[in-house]
Amino acid sequence: MTTTPVTKPVAPAMPVTPVTIDRSAWGRLRVTGGDRVRFLQGLTTVNVEQLADGAHGWGAILNPKGRVLSVIDVARIGEAFLIACEPSLADKTRAILEKYAVMDDVTFEPFEGPAHQTWDDLGTVWFAPIAEGCSPDAVAETAPAAELVRIRAGFLRYGADVDEDHFPFETPLVKFLDYGKGCYVGQEPVFRVYSQGNAARMLRGITVEGADPIAAGAGVKHATKDNAGLVTSAIVDGDTVRVLAYVHRTCWEPGGSVEIAGRRGTIHELPW
């Protein structure tokens, strides 16, 4: 069973070496039942009512304060929805769904088996489907080739780049927030920040001079603010290091200069 990606990426194609990632270990749930649309519409940031058969979309499950509990991909396949998430989120995601499904006609059926995802360029990373079946070219998601594309695209890893301390609008998930979809858990604080335009930080890409590795948790310094942000992910790319970092709103302008581990870095919007 293969889902179909959204047809119009929000980012231009940025050539990279294509990579196919093994997603067999990812958590996957088949959601059925008469209340499946209403239930997922009211619990996730994904506008499932607007998903065409075969289409999919990324989003999140939030707590009532708008913080990210889980990052999920939701696909509509006939009379069911398929939810996919990172292995570390599988049990947590199912537990959240079951917690809210008290009086709803909805069933969650986990399924396993080989699966993979192919990233052809940076502009399609967030739009590539997770396809069932084996691929002889698939590599582990931690393989350097996959990690480089992931970081350049800003594809989130839960526990590293996002967790329950973050709002979706601080991350690339902001591109998928539908402010007209109606109420869902955590919607009010998300809409409040959208209407006021006052997010305090944003995940950015930063290219740092020099090839010495940079550890997650390294501080980001700016000429106007010593504590301008923190690195969440990093990988050496030639004679530079590409990092993902949350940067304060006073310092996040693309093209700006910062300092990380005593080295100069240049801020970029994602992907870069």
User: Are residues 237 and 123 both part of a single domain?
Assistant: no
State how far the Cα of 4 lies from the Cα of 79, in Å rounded to an integer.
16
**Mean per-residue pLDDT over the chain, rounded:** 94
Mean pLDDT of 86-97: 98
| pTM above threshold 0.85 | yes
Residues 183-219 have pLDDT tens digits of 999 999 999 998 888 899 999 999 999 999 999 999 9
User: Are residues 30 and 123 both part of a single domain?
Assistant: yes
User: Are residues 131 and 247 both part of a single domain?
Assistant: no
State how far the Cα of 78 lies from the Cα of 96, in Å rounded to an integer.
24
Look at residue 195 in the predicted model and tell me its pLDDT. Answer: 85
User: Are residues 142 and 207 both part of a single domain?
Assistant: no
Residues 8-67 have pLDDT tens digits of 334 444 678 999 999 999 999 999 999 999 999 999 999 999 999 999 999 999 999 999
User: Are residues 25 and 130 both part of a single domain?
Assistant: yes
Look at residue 108 in the predicted model and tell me its pLDDT. Answer: 98
Q: What is the pairing mode between strands 225-237 and 115-121?
A: unpaired
User: Are residues 23 and 117 both part of a single domain?
Assistant: yes
Look at residue 50 in the predicted model and tell me its pLDDT. Answer: 96
Can you give the residue range of the structural domain that contains 39?
15-153
CA-derived radius of gyration, the chain: 19
Q: For residues 166 and 68, is the Cβ–Cβ distance under 8 A?
A: yes
The CATH number of the domain holding residue 268 is 2.40.30.110
State how far the Cα of 245 lies from the Cα of 228, in Å rounded to an integer.
10
Residues 152-164 have pLDDT tens digits of 999 999 999 999 9
Nearest to 3 by CA among 71, 69, 78: 78
Q: Looking at the 3D structure of the chain, how many domains does it have?
A: 2
